[in-house]
Structure 1
């Protein structure tokens, strides 16, 4: 066993960190050739998402919102940094220990990479390349850090950093300087005597210059490979391709939005949610970047004629505009995970009819570019509503975050059973034969959106002035429509709110009560909606799992 114990722990940890950076940089570079989602940090993060219980995922969404993925990735990187530092310390004691630690981390990475739904043999390459690069880097950074010195070395021998050496054995001198610069030590007879060393012992000094040179080289390698990996992942090309998309005019434009659809009250959610503000909830730790030139959609399974469409094919089809509100099943009562947009796309029902769906098929199992799956009831898509394979959102090509180049939009269903982004495959099947991603994790197989309402003004906890005060918000009952919204204060009488116009039953609807006379004190405001079927939302509180939250949105304010 070759020992390097003269290396200070902090320096060994720094060696480990640079080694980890080199390993990640090389793995990112190789992932650029394979595919970006094979980057080990992402595969490990994806595995953690898959293995996490539903309650933990819901806590993360409630606590961190759309930053939940950034928090998870940051946590993975912090843990990797700690493990890398520990690997450097182990390697300073015995290089074999460091290599074993890297191999163990590689095994974890391989398990995460090869168990992904879309995984293939090539997904192992980034991990293997990263581990190999890490081992080479660790060997080169650790070995030169201690310089062997003979017992009779002179004053020109390299001096140790902070006087630290790696001498071993009970007869070793007190310091390297004593061994190398004080040969005048005397025997009892007055004769100069060399330092005493036993067989197998040597003297080593810590090489500061070699360490700094090696670390700098490692940082350069890590940075260069990381940048190259990012370029190879195609981010810039996809962004440029998206900007270059010329949207064709719709064959069937959306009906004009009535003038009274947006009450234009400051602080009230606008009728159309700007793309930059539209919520994003999905399992993708890194947004898939799909080149429209390479994109295809395969429709197969229980069909007479399997279909494969390119993006060019999709652009040539008769396109439909539709105003549709989307909502996430993770949206708590009064929550933010809902938005309304104008979508442009091809009718999914028309494409399915061309494929010839079998009569006994009842499920569309769609697959995202990152392997996520979604099970959509086939009868909902085929019942005449504007279920689209969308390519545009609010007048521009889909943002990459929202599914470019194509995604599903199905009115009336929560996103986890309808709104597949970066969709690449639709398998026509049955619910009793296949399961989508969230179903085995405790969520309902079918997820119709529940009638709900939200108070946007005043905000919960607001401090208000006495007098006439506006209470306003939005209500939704997609594909049914909102017929009425009622508001009450301090459990008093329910009062009818004024409704904004709505172009279709598939969008949310603004509402306002603008004559509340706010008196000093604390007040509780509640809202409920009634849809076009006559159903009034229940006061019973239910969590988001397994099929959407229920209850009345309630806010407390102080007037004074």
Structure 2
């Protein structure tokens, strides 16, 4: 009999082979058909909004990694259990893998625009995984004739000797007085000469496991390469960006206060926050990309990437903010964007007077509802193709994404955008609206303390308190700071090129020994001061003053 640990190991490796083969086939069919991704996408869609909020708040940009990791851990545990059950009856193992195949198929085939070919990765993975499990279990045992168990010329071990017949057993004498009868001997089972025994072979199992791991890893790596990431990366790197017809305003010399620990004015691409619903980043070839504008328009428009590059390009510095950002959170970033004004594209289509919503769709099926009046009011709302002087990173929407200053990302910043339906809010809903979020999401005035950090220990005396504040598309006009709920004091503001970026601020304060509470609030250019009342991000953005506590010695 194969030990339980060996069965669990065989199940784990067979599960890995199944996923590796599924990844390989998905590389040919489409990355979104990988069953782990499909199950993860369904999980995201079915997860209640409060749980999603908790995941984003707790794990930030790593929420997708945690989700996929959780799915893989669950699959690993169940694969190990299937392996243990299959030791006694291989049919249990095949049935268990088939059951998980059904779950994967349901997740894959219920995706929008799914076809029967999309089932191929899951079917192939389950079939090869079942074969691998049976092969490993067979490999773990070898036939051992009973006669060979005892070497020639040696006495047979008790386990190889038949017990004497009843008549041949010596008569049991009555015990003498005071002498205890010896315990009755239990004779072991007999292994007759010529019987075919199955003995566990650890070495054969482990060599088979090593081969399975290599196959699983190689299939997964090749599958990821076939998924198109390398081709899209190559197209992105080779892209020559046109010069903007309307360059961004020069950044004022005093835009960055250069205080150690403060958030820089521009956020590097690799540091820019990423929050979206895509478990696998869409790989969109710019040569095949098209943007379709339709719905409540006079003339439906379809643009290729080459068409977009031929249009006048605008460069603008814009801060984006996620609606899931907690007070004092880091889900905000500022970048220099290059793209075509959305208003110019929409004018080509001819907006009808009753239209008030742009329902944009991403290449992965995500939808977003943007108010028409905001896009058409003259602000630099863009179909962006570049970020901080280079083509959009794939993770941030390559080849084209929306960037709309003044709106939270969930109602404006569609990545990998491929379709825009001009419609009305009373006719259509975007992805997050039925999940409890507001249909429109204007950004709320916020400020954050970057220096010092909450919980820091400081020396008594003069200390610098600094951070950033934002109020897109209005602009920040003032920032105030107070310590221990005493009188508010005006902070020094950095220069900014316009109302669509965040603004650095700083103030020097004499701190005495003890524990101190520091608070900050901002006022926008329209005279609206940041709300004191604390509220969570749902349904339309968090409110409250950022508050930290420090110790001074």
The normalised TM-score by structure 2 is 0.90
Cα RMSD after superposing both structures: 2.4
**Cα distance in structure 2, aligned partners of 1:58 and 1:338:** 16
- Paired position in structure 1 for 2:477: 483
- Paired position in structure 1 for 2:524: 531
- Paired position in structure 1 for 2:61: 66
**Cα distance in structure 2, aligned partners of 1:425 and 1:367:** 5
Alpha-carbon shift at residue 150 of structure 1 (Å):
5.3
- Paired position in structure 2 for 1:14: 9
Q: Does structure 2 conserve the Cα–Cα contact (< 8 Å) formed by 1:13 and 1:86? A: yes
Say if 2:142 is the partner of 1:147. Answer: yes
Residues 300-351 of structure 1: CA deviation (Å, up to 9, x unaligned) = 2222322222222222211100111100001111111111111000111111
Alpha-carbon shift at residue 451 of structure 1 (Å):
1.0
Say if 2:128 is the partner of 1:133. Answer: yes
Residues 123-170 of structure 1: CA deviation (Å, up to 9, x unaligned) = 22211111111122222222343334556566699xxxxxxxxxxxxx
Q: Does structure 1 conserve the Cα–Cα contact (< 8 Å) formed by 2:35 and 2:108? A: yes
Q: Does structure 2 conserve the Cα–Cα contact (< 8 Å) formed by 1:152 and 1:183? A: no
Residues 154-205 of structure 1: CA deviation (Å, up to 9, x unaligned) = 6699xxxxxxxxxxxxxxxxx9x877xx589887899xxx9577xxx96322
The normalised TM-score by structure 1 is 0.89
- Equivalent residue for 2:284, pick from 272, 282, 290: 290
- Paired position in structure 2 for 1:548: 541
Give the secondary structure class of the aligned counterpart of 1:64.
helix
- Paired position in structure 2 for 1:518: 511
Say if 2:217 is the partner of 1:235. Answer: no
- 1:132-531 → structure 2 map (5 Å cutoff): 132-149=127-144, 182=160, 203-514=197-508, 516-531=509-524
Residues 483-507 of structure 1: CA deviation (Å, up to 9, x unaligned) = 1111111111111222211111111
**Cα distance in structure 2, aligned partners of 1:495 and 1:69:** 41
Residues 240-284 of structure 1: CA deviation (Å, up to 9, x unaligned) = 221111111001101111222222222111111111221111122
Alpha-carbon shift at residue 393 of structure 1 (Å):
0.7
Alpha-carbon shift at residue 74 of structure 1 (Å):
1.5
- Equivalent residue for 2:27, pick from 27, 32, 36: 32
Residues 429-452 of structure 1: CA deviation (Å, up to 9, x unaligned) = 221222111111110011000011
**Cα distance in structure 2, aligned partners of 1:256 and 1:390:** 19
Residues 342-397 of structure 1: CA deviation (Å, up to 9, x unaligned) = 10001111111112222222211111222211111112111111110101111111
- Paired position in structure 2 for 1:161: none
More divergent stretch after superposition (351-360 vs 146-155): 146-155
Alpha-carbon shift at residue 72 of structure 1 (Å):
1.7
Give the secondary structure class of the aligned counterpart of 1:261.
coil
- Paired position in structure 2 for 1:170: none
- Relative to structure 1, is the Cα distance of residues 12 and 470 closer, same or farther in structure 2, using a 3 angstrom cutoff? same
Give the secondary structure class of the aligned counterpart of 2:522.
strand
More divergent stretch after superposition (292-301 vs 341-350): 292-301
**Cα distance in structure 1, aligned partners of 2:264 and 2:221:** 40
Alpha-carbon shift at residue 207 of structure 1 (Å):
3.5
- Relative to structure 1, is the Cα distance of residues 490 and 196 closer, same or farther in structure 2, using a 3 angstrom cutoff? closer
Give the secondary structure class of the aligned counterpart of 1:483.
strand
Give the secondary structure class of the aligned counterpart of 1:41.
helix
Say if 2:50 is the partner of 1:55. Answer: yes
Give the secondary structure class of the aligned counterpart of 2:384.
strand
Say if 2:75 is the partner of 1:83. Answer: no
- Relative to structure 1, is the Cα distance of residues 96 and 252 closer, same or farther in structure 2, using a 3 angstrom cutoff? same
Residues paired across the two proteins, number: 528
- Relative to structure 1, is the Cα distance of residues 97 and 468 closer, same or farther in structure 2, using a 3 angstrom cutoff? same
Q: Does structure 2 conserve the Cα–Cα contact (< 8 Å) formed by 1:116 and 1:371? A: no
Give the secondary structure class of the aligned counterpart of 2:254.
helix
**Cα distance in structure 1, aligned partners of 2:487 and 2:217:** 65
- Paired position in structure 1 for 2:181: none
Q: Does structure 2 conserve the Cα–Cα contact (< 8 Å) formed by 1:540 and 1:550? A: yes
Q: Does structure 1 conserve the Cα–Cα contact (< 8 Å) formed by 2:481 and 2:488? A: yes
**Cα distance in structure 2, aligned partners of 1:52 and 1:457:** 36
More divergent stretch after superposition (441-450 vs 217-226): 217-226
Q: Does structure 2 conserve the Cα–Cα contact (< 8 Å) formed by 1:152 and 1:195? A: no
Q: Does structure 1 conserve the Cα–Cα contact (< 8 Å) formed by 2:162 and 2:190? A: no
- Paired position in structure 2 for 1:105: 100
Q: Does structure 2 conserve the Cα–Cα contact (< 8 Å) formed by 1:298 and 1:309? A: yes
Q: Does structure 2 conserve the Cα–Cα contact (< 8 Å) formed by 1:151 and 1:195? A: no
